[in-house]
Chain A
Amino acid sequence: MAGTSEHAVGHGGDSRRDFLKILTVATGVVGAGAVIWPFIDALGPDADGTAAAHLIVDVAGIPENTAITVTWNGLPIYIRKLTAQQIADTQAVVTSTLVDPADFASRVKPGYDSFVVVVGLNTGSPCALEGNAPADPRGPFDGWLSPCDGSVYDPLGRVRGGPATKNLAIPRFKFINDAQIQFG
């Protein structure tokens, strides 16, 4: 009893109660958090979804003057390897003469000049562009051609003619090494 009163004098009458209250509330909050977390976690993307959102594509095998198509986020993505001639030609274009001005450096990743990665949908009336294979119709600039409205793009995906007025969109991606790119 003496100890209790001394305790009460020393630390205030409610110190023991306060301690227990804080302990109880803290335990309760941790418990509630542990229960709520699975509900939040379960509604997030699963491992498959995360992997699909950060798709890795091997680009080392793409032959020059050819593009491959991959699907990412539901979009057809064209990955094209340019020839030295195409690089030189597109670098020589005076940017200010274009419909949607964009220079060479803004269309490729620094250090990987030969790879162009674009969303392969015409920016005019949306439809998939032709010109991935060397034998495909590519239009006068050796790039892509829209079979729907006749819009013409150069090998960098810049619009060069037709109803379309915007360059092809560039998806979010990075080179993780010389042979692979990762989207997202």
Chain B
Amino acid sequence: MSTDVKKSWLASRLPCPAKEAGSCAPTLERGAPYAATLPALITGAVLFLLASGLVLAVYYNPAHGFDSIQFIARNVNSGWLIQGFHTTGVTMLFAAVYWLLFRDIYTGAYRAPGELVWLLRVKLFALLLLVGWLGYTLSDGAVSYWSLTNATTAATALGGVAGVIGRWFFGGPNGAGTLARLEVFHAVLALAALGTLGASRCAARALARQTKPQHPVSCHPYYTSQTFAAFAVFALIFAVLMFFAPHYGLNPLNRAASDSLIVPAVLSPPWYLSPVSAVASVFSTAAGSIFGAIVMLAVLAALPWLDRSSPNSKRGLFYRLLTGLLLLDVIGLGWSVSDPACTISGSLTVVFTIWYFFHFLVLTPLVTALEAK
């Protein structure tokens, strides 16, 4: 009896929405694919990165960024492991986000009434790119130093509103206090990404509730066990990468300390930033590079309106082939900036960039309109 009283005391003061909505009620459609657990995996990855990032932030010293990371790896108990969690966690997070976006493009999930979910996912992607780049600059390595210096130089040189925002963001040229403020932006924008992720999952859940399931099943244990199995595979891949390829997709030259007098031979960014970096590198001016990166994300966000097919119609074979080509194109974009020793990689970047925009701005409206007939 006392527990009943206690329960009602607590329940009356702290109502649990999940309990009231009846999360165990059979309201979900049976047979969702394993890829539908991607948002849950992304949430897990973001929370994992927040936890490891908090531990790193305790020891990180922006005045001596590179040295403090060496300190974390060598002196802090299990510091090498926490640092590996953070580095490899980013790789897993971006792999899941890229996969989610490609899956949405492939299946056409972005079409009405899914536009809001899609927009929030693109916003999440944009925020994660920014947070990822900020974290990369915090490594204070030989390569990331020049990425940051080029960005701050561009920001001080830009005119108009972009210049004002850039100077506010970086606080002038790359100097003593730059990494300290970027550490704060890294953490704050990571929380903003978590919020955006929550919003996108809320919107996706509201969308799922609109259709009445043919074979209804309850969330638990039907989908909790599926998520658990997906999570186990995700964690296994993470562990293999972390222990056997801890620097996967990262520029090895960035393992040296930053030096304001030495520009490394290869200035390639981490793999997850390289497609955007490639599009930005096509433009010769700073303003052009920023414009390129923004337009690259903008066409992604505009996809629901570029697609001329009716909602719920099947994707045609040609469109699916083109999506496969787009995947190769984005991989090619990333590869073309990671290997500057290849003499034609510069022109390949231009070709891949043109194809990227050609795909979204010309082929997508054309093919979806043709296949809708």
Contact = CB atoms under 8 A, between A and B. Distances in A.
B96 to A, nearest CB: 18
B76 A42 contact: yes
Interface string A35-58: 001110111101110000000000
A38 B77 CA distance: 8
A31 interface: yes
B55 interface: yes
Interface residues of B, number: 13
B77 A41 contact: yes
A31 B235 contact: yes
A39 B77 contact: no
Interface centre among B76, B81, B82 (most CB of A within 10 A): B76
**Range class of the A interface residue count:** 10 to 19
B52 interface: yes
Contacts of A44: 77
A127 B186 CA distance: 43
Interface string B246-269: 000000000000000000000000
A74 B55 CA distance: 25
Contacts of B81: 38, 42
Contacts of B79: 42
A37 B55 CA distance: 12
B75 interface: yes
Contacts of B235: 31
Contacts of A41: 77-78
Nearest to B56: A42
Given A39-B55, A42-B55, A48 B75 contact: yes
Interface in B52-92: 52, 55, 58, 75-79, 81-82, 85
B36 interface: no
B89 to A, nearest CB: 11
9 contacts: A31-B235, A39-B51, A39-B52, A39-B55, A41-B77, A41-B78, A42-B78, A43-B58, A46-B76
Q: Which 6 A-B pairs have the closest CB atoms?
A: A38-B78, A41-B78, A38-B81, A41-B77, A42-B78, A42-B55
